[in-house]
Amino acid sequence: MYNEIEDIKKVLEPYNLDEEKLYEVSPNANYDELLESYEERTRAMINEEIGGETFEFEEDREDELNPSNSRFQQLSYPVQEVKKVERYHRGEWKEVSSKRYIPTKFGLKLRRFPRPRDLYSRRIRRMFQRDIEARSYTWNDLAEYLRVTYDRGFEEIPSEVKNLQLELIVRMIQKARTQQNLSVLKPEEVQQAIGVDIITDDIRSRLDKLTHPKGKVRF
């Protein structure tokens, strides 16, 4: 749950969407149950917009992934702690040393390899220094499959997410009330009422900024 029911009630008051008005939308519904339904539906909308994920905290999540053909392996944002990374190679799973990668909020960044000090001699190091610095293995080079165990999500839902959900709830209720009054609307107003989108481009843009902060890697 992104917003508690009591918080939703407080937001509805200025919009004149109190208990009595909500009964006009769903006459047989229990008030709290109705708000719970709106919370659940709008949370599902938000989660769908961010790729079917959730902002809620998940502990020891295990993802089995096809390795990327780059040094970066995407995980589900936001990554809080990486517990274990395993690679499937030549018929068996082996744990990847934490020295081989750098965890970020977005996934795993593979360290450059081989490092100059890993080379056999100083002579070879001098000869191939430039080539080594420019080249690095990818996750696809390292494994056929990856299995990552990690904690992700937020223990406390960000205020931006809560505010977005509250906006969606208000828009959803307003749309339901408007559609109930179609018989009294003018013909040109009917299509406008039916075509109202719950999730606007502005809301999508704000969600995108939440999951892709400025200056970070975009996927």
- Confidence tier at 39 by pLDDT (50, 70, 90): very high
Whether residue 63 is found in the same domain as residue 148: yes
Amino acid letter, residue 23? Y
Q: Which two tokens mark 203? A: 């809301």
| Structure confidence by residue, pLDDT tens digits, 118-156 | 444 555 555 555 454 445 578 998 899 999 999 999 999
Asked if 148 and 81 sit in the same domain, the reply is yes
**pLDDT of 92 above 80:** yes
Question: Is 206 found in the same domain as 179?
Answer: yes
Average pLDDT of the chain, as a whole number: 79
Distance in angstroms (rounded) separating the CA atoms of residues 163 and 49: 16
SS3 readout for the chain: CCCCHHHHHHHHHHHCCCHHHHHHHCCCCCHHHHHHHHHHHHHHHHHHHCCCCCCECEEEEEEEECCCCCCEEECCCCEEEEEEEEEEECCEEEECCHHHEEECCCEEEECCCCCHHHCCCHHHHHHHHHHHHHCCCCHHHHCCEEEEEEEECECCCCHHHHHHHHHHHHHHHHHHHHHHCHHHCCHHHHHHHHCCCCCCHHHHHHHHHHHCCCCCCCC
Residue with tokens 């149950």: 33
> Is 25 domain-assigned?
yes
Q: Kindly state whether residue 44 falls inside one of the protein's structural domains.
A: yes
Whether residue 218 lies inside any domain: the answer is: no
Residue at 33 is within a domain? yes
Both 120 and 191 in a single domain?
no
Total structural domains in the chain?
Answer: 2
Q: Which residues contact 45 (CB under 8 A, 6 or more apart)?
A: 168, 198, 199
Would you say residue 216 lies in a domain?
Answer: no
Q: Check whether residue 115 and residue 144 sit in a common domain.
A: yes
- Whether omega before 78 lies within 30 degrees of 0, making that bond cis, reads yes
- At 150 the pLDDT is 98
- Nearest residue to 192 (alpha-carbon basis) of 178, 171, 177: 178
- How far apart are alpha carbons 164 and 132 in whole angstroms? 47
Residues 162 and 103 in one domain: no
Q: Kindly indicate the confidence band of residue 158, based on its pLDDT and cuts at 50, 70 and 90.
A: very high
179-191 average pLDDT score: 48
Within-domain flag for 192: yes
pLDDT computed for residue 195 by the predictor = 47
Considering the domain boundaries, does residue 112 fall inside one? yes
Say yes or no: 41 and 87 in one domain.
no
Looking at the fold, whether 90 and 147 belong to one and the same domain comes out as yes
Q: Which of 111, 129, 152 is the last residue of a domain?
A: 152
Which stretch of 52-61, 81-90, 110-119 has the lowest confidence by average pLDDT? 110-119
Residue 219 within any structural domain of the chain: no
Q: Which domain holds residue 67?
A: 58-152
